[in-house]
Structure 1
Amino acid sequence: MGRFFDHGDLRLVVLKLIADKPSHGYELIKAIETAAGGAYTPSPGVVYPTLTLLEELGYVVASEAGGGKKLYTITPEGEAFLVSNEQPVRSLFERMAEAASTSAAFSPQILRARENLKTALRLKLHGGQLTAEQIAGVAKALDDAAATIETL
């Protein structure tokens, strides 16, 4: 799969999400992932520079929200920019909704199984000292699961 967004598209998506609800960077990453049905999850290395650019352009302002987090809020300039790009923004969100409708990433069965695996792994890894044999067994089980999934 190629790039999910073209140059400048993520800026519009992030700005629209902030217009809908002032957010932290992590919340924006999760909102985009959800809107795209898991078909795309932007990395922090893409989202945070986008937020910095939007701030430099005067489209958002960041305020300290405690714990080193910044809360981003849209400015009147950002709102005007969104209005002037209403059709491209609508098209981007339609494309994300279409991707979400065909994505299996958030299917209940896969979510349940993924959470079961994460829980079992967390309990095993944090339940005490593992022997070399146990570590090898966990690694083999994970490798086997990955190989099985790849062949589906």
Structure 2
Amino acid sequence: MHRGGRGRGFGHGFGRGFGGRHGHDDEGRGPRRRMFDSGELRLVLLKLIADEPRHGYDLIRQIEELTGGAYAPSPGVIYPTLTLLDDMGQIEAQQSDGAKKLFAITDDGRSELDANAGLVDGLIARLAAIGEERQRTDSASVRRAMGNLRQVLVDRLGHRDVAQETLHAVVALIDEAAQKIERL
């Protein structure tokens, strides 16, 4: 997946920000929702660090792997949360090779996990469910077809002198295809 942009393919509401454009999810059903509510990311990171000491980048990759590539938290979310956990005494940086800090859980962090075990299990299950849904719905052939459509649109409509009639015809074709797929 690319970093810093929206996810590719069908995110089913679980793209980069766990939601689509214009304040709605990717399917236009309603307001988008953040992937994690207040404090949830902190607990997920604690759990992943409790499993094994990790670097910030490793945590991003692990969450992305759990969600099947549907969501990868940004460094701008991960690193401040790691700083908070460190300040709270729930994790601590260990000696590591290179410039990356390797974080390990502390006794206080384990106590926090134990106190929130049910919530943590639910959060990890939610991430895994997103990954399973992504796997079930994000087939290679659909991604290929979407890529073909995207390239044709860029090639055909990327010129400044596209006639209004052509633009309307393209929009009508895309709308027609969407309606036919919806009826399947």
TM-score, structure 1 length as denominator? 0.70
After superposition, residues 71-110 of structure 1 pair within 5 angstroms as 71-104=102-135, 109=140
- Indicate if the aligned counterparts of 1:23 and 1:73 stay in contact, CA closer than 8 A: yes
Instruction: Give, in whole Å, the separation in 2 of the partners of 1:67 and 1:24.
Output: 11
Higher RCO (C-alpha 8 Å, min separation 6) = 1
Distance 1:57 1:35, change over 3 A: same
Stretches of structure 1 lacking an aligned partner (at least 5 in a row): 114-140
Identity %: 44
After superposition, residues 1-152 of structure 1 pair within 5 angstroms as 1=19, 2-104=33-135, 109=140, 144=151
Q: Which runs of 4+ in 1 moved over 4 A?
A: 104-108, 145-148
In our comparison, the structure showing a higher alpha carbon Rg is 2
Cα deviations by residue, 1:16-41 (Å, 9 ceiling, x for unpaired): 00000100110000001111111210
SS of 2:57's equivalent in the other structure is helix
SS of 1:67's equivalent in the other structure is coil
- Alpha carbon RMSD of aligned pairs, Å? 2.9
Cα deviations by residue, 1:88-144 (Å, 9 ceiling, x for unpaired): 10110111111111114996838xx7xxxxxxxxxxxxxxxxxxxxxxxxxxx9x72
| 1:64 Cα deviation after fit | 3.6
What letter corresponds to residue 59 of structure 2 in structure 1? L
SS of 1:62's equivalent in the other structure is strand
